[in-house]
Structure 1
């Protein structure tokens, strides 16, 4: 008996050409995949990392080192991983191609490979790329080594 396969091809958004500084978001939506929306950064939304660091360096350091710490009014890395993981585990068989923020890809890979939450910040996800996870029988695989286009 063949089991149904779920394939998720995360497509990351490109950085805007006019934007030199990345700003915290409000959890950009992912139409058709609500659990795959971007992280909710609460009161930090709309501000740059430099701006928040200048005002509250201790909180930024804690956010980058403690997966349970959430920005004021926002979501922790652990909560993001749990939310994205639940969304992945609830996908029906077939191929899904959500356009997501880089943090969602990190969270998906951490969940899929059952990595510790601290690994989240150790994963580099390039903008305007595709990362593929395949799953069946309650287990996920990460596809690496995509061939170069000629």
Structure 2
């Protein structure tokens, strides 16, 4: 018996608005896939990393080194990975295409490859690229950084 294949194409948002990209968000939406919204950075939303680091360098350091630490009022990296993983696990067979933040692609790759949560910060995803996960029987394969214009 042939099992159904799930293909998820994560399209990394382009840098179309430098000020928006440089600031933390409240979880940018992903139409059609609520669980693939960007990370919620709570009280840090709307501010730059430099601004938050200047005010509370210890909190930023902890956020960058402890996957279980959440910004005040926000979600942790571990929670983001779990949320994205739950979406991946619940997708129907077929191809899904979602335009997402870099953090969502990172979380999906960490979940799919069963990497430690600390690997989240070691993954970079270029804008205007597609990262594809293909799954069957709970096992995922990864195709990295294909340009948007490639079929």
The reply to whether TM is greater than 0.5 is yes
Deviation of 1:43 (Å): 0.2
Output one character per residue of 1:120-146: Cα deviation in whole Å (capped at 9) or x when no partner: 000011111100000011111102475
* Higher fraction of strand: 2
Calculate the TM-score normalised by the size of structure 2. Answer: 0.93
Deviation of 1:24 (Å): 0.1
Output one character per residue of 1:23-64: Cα deviation in whole Å (capped at 9) or x when no partner: 000001111111101000000000000000000000000000
List, as ranges, runs of 4+ consecutive aligned residues in structure 1 with deviation greater than 6 Å.
none
| Structure 1 residues without counterparts, runs of 5 or longer | none
Specify the SS of the correspondent of 2:128.
Answer: coil
Match of 2:110 in 1: 110
Match of 1:70 in 2: 70
Match of 2:41 in 1: 41
Match of 1:24 in 2: 24
CA distance in 1: counterparts of 2:75 and 2:91, whole angstroms: 22
Corresponding pairs, count: 149
C-alpha RMSD of matched pairs (Å): 1.7
| Structure 2 residues without counterparts, runs of 5 or longer | none
CA contact (8 A) 2:126 2:145 kept: no
